[in-house]
Amino acid sequence: MSCDTLLAFGEITRIDLIKVAYFLVALYLSISVHEAAHAWMANRCGDDTARLMGRMTLNPIVHIDPIGTVLMPLLMVITPLLMPGGGLGIPLFGWAKPVPVNPLRFRDMRKGEVLVSLAGPVSNFILAAGALAACWIVIAALGAASSGMVGRIGEMVLLFLTSLMMLNLVLGLFNLIPIPPLDGSHILGVFLSREAAAKLERFLVPPLNFIILIFVVLPVVRPVFWLVSRAADYLIWIWWL
């Protein structure tokens, strides 16, 4: 391998690792907001279980699952960097520690279950909107200073903010899918009869629910996620132009 090839490989690896680092920071911030939103809404609805267990916080350490939040995302983002041709095309998949919720303590059980389940995805959409607004502010603040050190710092900030926005859009939409253990399944269960909800819960148990999510649902909804991400990306860069 020539010296030029080694230098080129090193540069590509450095840039990719920066993107991976931005993505992981955005991921841990997003899951912290998501889980804290569940805990906050449960507390508002009368169940203080999560609050008493210290889960109503933005500290990512208390929400991290070693496999679902660390190992799986790392494998998903690093594998394409190491595999020839960009990897295996495995979809990003992971999870955080679920927030403990006791619906029996809700003042209104059915309303509480819907609100607590919606709180997570809604928090992701709010975070995505905030990241988009921050992108516009950064672009406006840069103005003519689009070159030099200020321009490079601005581009790094925009890279992080766009990662944060795209990730939260996808997380919010993904969690609305009505398959356990995603939030959408709890929302759907409230509108089903007890018998139908029980049958659905008995059918979609591990590992079948994960198999359906990874190999059936994700390939179908991936184009939708891509379109939403590209639309949000367009909103940013049209402002830049």
Q: Is residue 185 part of a domain?
A: yes
Residue-wise pLDDT for 139-155, tens only, equals: 877 765 555 555 677 77
**Does 107 have pLDDT greater than 70?**
yes
The whole-number pLDDT of residue 162 equals 86
Q: Is residue 102 part of a domain?
A: no
Total domains in the fold of the chain: 1
Lookup result for tokens 């295996």? 88
Q: Is residue 122 part of a domain?
A: yes
The whole-number pLDDT of residue 179 equals 83
Mean pLDDT of 159-172: 87
The whole-number pLDDT of residue 43 equals 96
Considering only CA atoms, which of 164, 186, 167, 189 is closest in space to residue 42? 186
Q: Is residue 140 part of a domain?
A: yes
Considering only CA atoms, which of 51, 55, 12, 10 is closest in space to residue 32? 55
The more confidently predicted of residues 49 and 16 is 49
Q: Is residue 44 part of a domain?
A: yes
Q: Is residue 177 part of a domain?
A: yes
Residue 152's CB is within 10 A of a number of other CB atoms, namely 11
Rg of the chain on CA atoms, in Å = 20
Contact 1, 17 (CB under 8 A): no
Burial of 1 (0-12, 13-18, 19+ CB in 10 A): exposed
**Does 19 have pLDDT greater than 60?**
yes
Token pair listed for 47: 């169940």
234 φ, ψ (degrees, to nearest 5): -65, -40
What b/e string do you get for 107-120 counting C-beta neighbours within 10 Å, with b at 16 or more? eeeeebbbbbbbbb
The string of DSSP letters for 41-70 reads HHHHTT--HHHHTT-SS--GGGT--IIIII
SS3 assignment, position 93:
coil
Residue-wise pLDDT for 21-35, tens only, equals: 888 888 889 999 999
Q: Is residue 169 part of a domain?
A: yes
SS3 assignment, position 212:
helix
Q: Give the structural domain span for 140.
A: 3-97+107-240
Contact 49, 42 (CB under 8 A): yes
Q: Is residue 228 part of a domain?
A: yes
Q: With bands split at pLDDT 50, 70 and 90, how would you rate the model's confidence at 233?
A: low
What is the reported pTM? 0.79
Residue-wise pLDDT for 196-208, tens only, equals: 766 777 666 666 6
Helical segments of the chain, H only: 3-44, 49-52, 72-82, 109-142, 148-175, 183-191, 194-203, 208-212, 218-240
**Does 120 have pLDDT greater than 90?**
yes
Question: Could you list the active site residues?
Answer: 35
Omega before 223 within 30 of 0, i.e. cis: no
Contact 174, 225 (CB under 8 A): yes
